[in-house]
Amino acid sequence: MDGSQLGVKPLPEALALARQQDLDLVAVAPMANPPVCRIMDYGKFRYEESQKAKESRRKTVHVSIKEVKFRPKIGKGDFDTKVRHMQDFLAEGHKVKVTLQFRGREMAHPELGSKILDAVLAQLGPGAKVETQARLEGRNMTMVLAPEKKVVPPPTRRQSGDSTADDDGAAPATETVAAPVSTAPATAAPATEPAPATDA
């Protein structure tokens, strides 16, 4: 259990060592010559790995492209509502595709679309940046916006009278997670070759 190397041992002896500690003999490198095994609590190991995987998925941010459509003659109320939706999308980390739809004679006045897009950018402010400039594609004028990365201000220096855990200037600890390995329970068929066991 302390991670020490126990050397090359026959499979029956390695299994006996694991059973003495009420643990499992797990093959971590079954294709090696000789195979490498580890004495561990296999059920606890699987549980911890599943919890780490869940935590990793929870922290993953799924970025998608949301589309918001405008018309050249859109009313002020509708315009403000759509811009608020765009602000929500950008705040959540999504990109936004702004589509301006022209109909009939509106195609003769693309400058109207440019004014709408300029008004959108002005109302969004510094929270959005243009990823793809506005361009006319058939009857639609499109532009893609992305959230502007927030600038994190440097931490302010605490006064000497304040005592905190970080005052010693030590770097925060980091956790390194090893990649999952192929494992097999202790009840596997006996191997013909001796198997080294490590006391994890």
Give mean pLDDT, residues 125-147: 88
Name the more confident of 180 and 58.
58
Pick the CATH number of 65-147 from 1.10.1740.10, 3.30.70.140, 3.30.110.10, 2.60.220.30: 3.30.110.10
CATH 3.30.110.10 residue window(s) in the chain: 65-147
**What pTM, to 2 d.p., does this model score?**
0.45
Question: Hey, what's the torsion of the CAs at 72, 76, 79, 83, to 10 degrees?
Answer: 140
Percent pLDDT > 90 in the chain is 15
pLDDT in tens, 50-96: 998 888 877 766 668 899 999 988 899 999 999 999 999 998 888 99
Lowest mean pLDDT among 71-80, 133-142, 154-163: 154-163
The CATH H-level superfamily of 4-58+181-199 is Translation initiation factor 3 (IF-3), N-terminal domain (3.10.20.80)
pLDDT band at 17 (very low <50, low <70, confident <90, very high): confident
Query: Across-strand partners of 154?
Result: none
Residue 18 pLDDT level (bands cut at 50, 70, 90):
confident
For residue 87 the two structure tokens come to: 């602000």
pLDDT band at 157 (very low <50, low <70, confident <90, very high): low
With CA atoms as reference, report the closest residue to 121 among 91, 103, 146: 146
